[in-house]
Amino acid sequence: MQSILQSAGPQAAHIESLWWLTLAICTVVFLAILVAVAWAVMRKRRGDAATPPDISFITKKERGAELAVVAGLGVSLLGLIVLTVASFVTDRALASLGAPDLQIDVTGHQWWWDARYDDQDKSKIFTVANEIHIPVGKPVLLRLRADDVIHSFWVPNLSGKKDMIPGRDATLTLQADKPGIYRGQCAEFCGAQHAKMAFLVIADDKYEEWAAAQRKPAPQPSSDQQKRGRDLFVDGRCAMCHAIQGTTANARHAPDLTHLMSRQTLAAGAVPNSIGHLAGWILDPSSIKPGSNMPPNPMEPDDLHALLAYLGTLK
């Protein structure tokens, strides 16, 4: 889980190979130096402060030592060249992922992620938050932006990281070869809740079905309680920041909640997605993410239950 050494896609795999090669070379070099030092120390030629310093070395030629140092230098240079070439080869490999046909615009915010799935057909564009599904075995292009401060998109099982810098666009291509849930985390310190800005990349072998479901607007609430919940949402503070497709709430300052219940976690991976956690989050976000930009929302229990009932329909 969230590991560099468990690659599930070609980008991470190329890097992991380079890792093992580099580790091997570096281990050999490290041990060689330790052995050399240990040998020098254990030669049992001891002295102390009163031992006269051997100043014959001022004029003596030390051919043996010179040779050894030059040899060491030569071997070091060789090793460095191997490492450098291996690095460049890996660079090339990373740039050779096939042409992606899926493009997702991911924007980092303090302290959540939104992902807008782009499409030639405008009617197929949809937006999710904090949980990104991708097809298995196909390259995906991520266009990375930041809304406020610098963030960094990092899902180690699939790829190295890329910084999201306000005012600039960056891109990352990756591919997942096995279905699975890959956790990622923001990797550039971005303020109070940097520690809890995670996301999930889910390589979904039922990707098309998931995408089709995400494109649909939220269902109309059926029960009275759910209707009341919807009204509380749309007429109250929630709609000032959040959007739910199919209602009049379409603000973009906070995660899109149209399919909130389809996600595994809440608050960018801070807590699992359950009714209890959702209630706690809504009532007081700072109890889970102190410093969060979402204000507390104290409310009557009836109102809370209505709201939760409505949100529970957003599958």
Partner 1 sequence: MNPVLERTWRDPPGVVGWFSSIDHKTIGRRYLVTAFAFFVGAGIMAALMRLQLARPENTLIGPDLYNQLFTTHGTVMMFLFAVPVMQGMAIYLVPLMVGSRAIAFPRMNAFAYWVYLFGGLFIFTCLLFNFGPDAGWFSYVPLAGPEYAPGKRADVWAQMITFSELSGLLAAIVVIATVFKLRAPGMTLARLPLFVWAMLATAFMILFAMPSVMLASTALILDRLVSTHFYNPAEGGDALLWQHLFWFFGHPEVYFIFIPGLAFMSSIIPTFSRRPIFGYPAVVMSLTATAFLSFGLWVHHMFATHIPELGKSFFTAASMLIALPTAIQIFCWIATMWTGRLLLATPMLHMLAFFFILVLGGMTGLMVASVPLDLQLTDTYFVVAHLHYVLIGGAVFPLFGAWYYWFPKITGRMMSERLGRWQFWLFFIGFNVAFYPMHHLGLRGMPRRVYTYTDEMGWGPLNLLATAGAVTIAISVLLFTINAVMSLRRGMLAGENPWGAGTLEWATSSPPPSYNFDRQPIVRARDPLWEPPLGELREPTAEPTHIVGLAEHTREVLVTTVQDAIPDHRLAFPQPTLWPFVSAIAVAIMFLGSIFTPWAIVWGGIPVALFATLWFWPKREETDAAIAIEKRP
Q: Is 274 among the residues that bind partner 1 (CB under 8 A)?
A: no
- Candidates 192, 234, 241, 254: give the one binding partner 1 (CB under 8 A): 192
Quick one: how far is CA 41 from the chain centroid?
46
Nearer to partner 1 (CB atom), residue 160 or residue 246: 160
Residue 131 CB, nearest approach to partner 1 (Å): 16
- Intra-chain end-to-end CA distance of the chain, in Å: 26
Distance of alpha carbon 173 from alpha carbon 271, whole angstroms: 28
| Site stretch for partner 1 (CB under 8 A), options 148-156, 229-237, 252-260, 277-285 | 148-156
Comparing CB distances to partner 1, the nearer of 161 and 305 is 161
Beta strand 131-135 with 198-204 is parallel
Q: Minimal distance in Å, beta carbon 207 to partner 1?
A: 24
Which of 13, 165, 181, 241 is in the footprint of partner 1 by CB under 8 A?
A: 165
CA torsion through residues 155, 273, 232, 245, sign: positive
Cα distances from 243 to residues 110, 129, 263, 314, in angstroms, run: 18, 11, 16, 12
Rule CB under 8 A: choose which of 114, 131, 188, 256 binds partner 1.
188
CB of residue 86 vs partner 1: minimum separation in angstroms? 8
Contact set for partner 1, span 18-37 (CB under 8 A): 18-19, 22-23, 26-27, 29-30, 33-34, 36-37
Tell me the one-letter amino acid at 4. I
Pick out residues in 79-138 that bind partner 1 (CB under 8 A).
80, 83-84, 86-88, 90-91, 94-95, 110
Binders of partner 1 in range 38-67 (CB under 8 A)? 39-41, 43, 45-55, 57-58, 62, 65-66
Pairing status of strand 170-174 against strand 140-146: antiparallel
78 binding partner 1? (CB under 8 A): no
Whole-number minimum distance, CB 212 to partner 1, in Å?
Answer: 31
Nearest to 213 by CA among 273, 281, 263: 263
Burial 163-192 (b: 16+ CB within 10 A, else e): bbbeeeebebbbbbbeebebbbbbbbebee
Report how far residue 111's alpha carbon sits from residue 133's, in angstroms, rounded to the nearest whole number. Answer: 20
User: Shortest Cβ distance from residue 266 to partner 1 (Å)?
Assistant: 13
| Residue 236 beta carbon to partner 1: minimum distance, rounded to whole angstroms | 27
- Examine residue 111 and say whether the peptide bond preceding it is cis (omega within 30 degrees of 0): yes
Minimum gap (Å) between residue 18 Cβ and partner 1: 6
Q: Does 263 bind partner 1 (CB under 8 A)?
A: no
